[in-house]
Structure 1
Amino acid sequence: MTISVPATSANLGPGFDSLGLAVDLRNEVEFHPSKFFSVSIKGEGENNPRLKGNNLFVSIFNDHYNRLTQKKQNFKFTFYNQIPMSRGLGSSSAVIVSAIASAHEAAGIRVSKRRILNHALFYESHPDNITPAVMGGFNAATVEKNKVFSQRKHLPTYLKAIVTIPNKPINTLKARTLLPKSYSKENAIYNLSHTALTVGAFFNEDWEMLKLAAQDRFHQKARMKVLPELFSVQKLAYESGALMSTLSGSGSTFFSMAYDEDSAMIANKLKQKFPDFIVKTLDFDNNGLVIER
């Protein structure tokens, strides 16, 4: 059995903790019952021995499998990881979602994506990453009474994602400590209006509106100061024709959207300007969580 979950980019400028989308960069896990428990990691994290002994996926999987079946069973897990860790591309959300889905499949219980999403909320209290990880596409989401409510938009193939991945991580918990403890009424209204405009632009496919709509006063500048090169990444992306360019999650990755015909040129300029960073051009993912039995 194979279960895969896409990378995600969240916040998308002003949509702090509420907006996110999925890109076609996936983590996969294969598993089957075994006499002995084992974990094998290939790709991202394969050289980190701590991931085998203190694996978040296995912990969440066991919690759910034991609850669902009231029994213990050893499994052999093989992970094929493409999502960079601690880079703002939703690697932890991918782990959470895949572990919950895997446990239900192993227990022989079929559940809806919405149910898996609501289970994921227990481990990740903000819906901006877990929602596109499960649903795919662009998502606007909120939490009410411990449930995720969201709206989804399919993303067209003529758009591409360009992700610029620095050689330094930004810790999500540390990044939150950089943010103000309160915001002015003016800045709150600014972000509310720009978030609304961003959602409207996505659903109406008014891509030219995004450069204006994606402006933010809540989190980006404070976090980008940790890695000042990110200001130059954003400036170059916009000057080269990006439709939007925003900090991905809490960073350090920078997410840009462009028309297909412009994406190669933008990516090449970013590669030339930032040779120590990884620049990837990706399709958007509209599938989210995928289970192959």
Structure 2
Amino acid sequence: MPLNNRFIIKVPASTANLGPGFDSIGLALDLYLTLEVEESSSWEFSSTTEELKELPNDDQHFIAQVAIKTAEKYGKFLPPCKVKIESEIPLARGLGSSASAIVAGIELADSIGNLGLTKQEKTFLATEWEGHPDNAGASVLGGLVIGSYQQKEVDILSFTNLSFEVVVAIPEEILLTKDSRDVLPEAFSRQEAIQASSNGNLLVAALLSQNWEIVGKMMEKDLFHQPYRKPLISFYEEVEQAAKSNGAFGVALSGAGPSVICFAEKGQGKLLAQMLQSDFPEMNVRLLNIDNEGSCVKEVEKFVK
């Protein structure tokens, strides 16, 4: 545990898939889950964030469970803590709220259990919990991540030299990932798989070479999940058309939805966000930056300065 026995864990939100990068591509965003932690005689969780107030306030809290079970993997017993949680990440909106909570739990175990975990080990542990490396990897590593999870191994790369802006249209309604996964097909033909994966491959190449036209084109050509999920989201096509009319070079479902993520070249995001907020006043439209640091743990004083 940090020297003054009081510290902050900060974990960024994430968007995943970016169209055809299903369960393998993620991007860290500057909305944060923040935990203020100090030693205590018992586990105690509190929050002023409305969506989090109904969650358990003892060791049954999901973050505590992740922390305790992570420590157990390494033969450690965690001393109880008092944890104050605040979150800018809306629940069940496709912005990685569950992945951020998993990463926060792993960071908590690492800090108070003195596990000495590397970023790669944290990514693996988070991926085990999450089941795929896109949201989890982005929240741990920051930036744009491309990852693969097979045979209990995670291979993942992170890129932080990206220069575009992100606008997210967040609706009031939620869409649980389980419900969104239930509409997906169980299998693809070989030809369908070839076409779908080629779109994902080209998306990565276009992102890294900053060919925004092809990025947007590949986002629209996803075959893995968006054709099946879009019918669940009545406003998707309206937001997509409005975004593209106001400077977005690409639009996609954020994760499993229902949030819609729009990509714009540097300097164009502010106007795009203003126009979308005007057109869709019932939504929360946010201009976001890419988080390039990933999850971090710091002493309270270092955040205050």
With normalisation by structure 1, the TM-score equals: 0.94
Q: Are 2:202 and 1:190 aligned? A: no
Question: Is 1:31 matched with 2:25?
Answer: no
Q: Which moved more, 1:63-72 or 1:7-16?
A: 63-72
Distance 1:69 1:41, change over 3 A: farther
Q: Is the 8 A contact 1:69 1:107 kept in 2?
A: no
The 1-side partners of 2:65 and 2:202 are apart by 40
Using the TM superposition, give the Cα deviation of residue 117 of structure 1 relative to its aligned residue in structure 2, in angstroms. 0.8
Structure 2 residue aligned with 1:284: 290
Once structures 1 and 2 are overlaid, which stretch shifts more, 192-201 or 231-240?
A: 231-240
Give the aligned partner of residue 164 of structure 1: 169
Aligned match of 1:177: 182
1:240 aligns to 2:231 (yes or no) = no
1:141 corresponds to 2:110: no
Q: Which digits, 9 at most, give the CA deviation of each residue in 1:206-249, with x for residues without a partner?
A: 22321112221221132121121112111211222212110011
Written as runs of structure 1 = structure 2, the 5 A alignment for 1:115-126 is 115-126=121-132
Partner of 2:214: 209
1:250 aligns with 2:256: yes
Contact 1:142 1:149 (8 Å CA) reproduced: yes
Q: Which residue of 1 aligns with 2:16?
A: 10
Question: In the alignment, what sits opposite 1:114?
Answer: 120
CA RMSD of aligned residues (A): 1.7
Give the match for residue 204 of structure 2: 199
Structure 1 pair 12–72 and aligned structure 2 pair: CA distance change class (3 A): closer
Distance 1:70 1:17, change over 3 A: closer
| Per-residue deviation, 1:36 | 2.9
Question: How far apart are 1:70 and its partner, in Å?
Answer: 4.0
Give the distance between the partners of 1:7 and 1:159, measured in 2 at CA: 17
Distance change >3 Å, CA 130–CA 70, structure 1 → 2: closer
- Deviating 4+ runs (over 3 angstroms): 65-72
Unaligned runs of 5+ in 1: none
Q: CA deviation at 1:30?
A: 1.4
Taking the aligned partners of 2:185 and 2:129, their CA distance within structure 1 comes to 24
> Deviation string for 1:69-112 (max 9, x for gaps)?
64352210111111110000000000101101111110123211
2:224: which partner in 1? 218
Q: 5+ unaligned residues in a row in structure 2: which ranges?
A: 1-6, 300-305
Separation in 2 of the partners of 1:192 and 1:212? 14
Whether 1:52 and 2:57 are equivalent positions in the alignment is: yes
Secondary structure of the structure 2 residue equivalent to 1:57: helix
Q: CA deviation at 1:67?
A: 4.8
* Distance apart, 1:44 and its partner CA: 5.3
